[in-house]
Amino acid sequence: MTHKEKAIELLKQKYHCSQALLGAFAGDFGLDLKTAFKISTCFGGGMRQGTTCGCITGGLLVLGLAFGFTDPQDKELETYGNRKTEEYIRAFRERMQGDIYCRDILGKDISIPEDMAVIRQEGLILQRCPRAFFVSIEILEKMLEEYGGELLSVDLEEIDINEDEEIQIMLKNMSRRQRFRRHVRALLNETERKVAFVQFDICRFKIINDLYGERFGDEVLYWIREKLKELCNERQYFVNLRSDVFQVVTEYDEVSELYRMMEAMGRELEVYKAVKLQYSIGVYLVEDAGMELRQMEDRAAMARKAAKNSLLSEVVFYQEQFKTSLYNRKFVEDNIDIAIREGQLQMYLQPKYSISQNRIIGAEALVRWSHPQRGMIYPMEFLPVIEEDGFITKVDFYMWKKAGEFLGRCQKAGIRDCPLSVNLSRRHLQDREFMQVLEHIVEESGICKHLLELEITETMEEHVSQAAREMKEQGFKLLMDDFGSGYSSLNILLETPFDVLKLDRKFMENMMVSDKGRLILEHIITMAEQLKLGLIAEGVETREQVEMLKQMGCDQVQGYYYAKPMPEEDFYRLLLENRGAGIR
480 DSSP β-pair partners: 456, 501
pTM, 2 dp: 0.55
Query: pLDDT band at 364, cuts 50/70/90?
Result: very high
Determine the pLDDT at residue 58: 84
Query: pLDDT band at 152, cuts 50/70/90?
Result: very low
179-193: per-residue pLDDT in tens?
787 788 889 989 999
For 446, which DSSP code? T
276 DSSP β-pair partners: 271
Reply yes or no on whether the pLDDT at 27 is more than 90: no
249-307: per-residue pLDDT in tens?
999 999 999 999 999 999 999 999 999 999 999 999 999 998 888 889 888 988 998 88
CB 320 within 8 A of CB 340: no
The residue ranges of DSSP E strands in 203-293, in sequence order, are 237-242, 245-252, 271-272, 275-276, 279-285
Topology of 335-578 in CATH?
TIM Barrel (3.20.20)
Residues of the chain with CATH 3.30.70.270: 157-319
Residues of the chain with CATH 3.20.20.450: 335-578
199-242: per-residue pLDDT in tens?
999 998 888 888 888 889 989 999 999 999 999 998 899 988 87
Instruction: Give the span between the Cα atoms of 208 and 214, in whole angstroms.
Output: 8
For 430, which DSSP code? G
CB 106 within 8 A of CB 117: no
Least confident piece of the model among 114-123, 212-221, 550-559: 114-123
CATH number attached to the domain at 157-319: 3.30.70.270
What type of residue is 365?
Answer: A
Determine the pLDDT at residue 177: 66
371-415: per-residue pLDDT in tens?
999 899 888 888 888 887 778 888 999 999 999 999 999 999 999
Reply yes or no on whether the pLDDT at 487 is more than 70: no
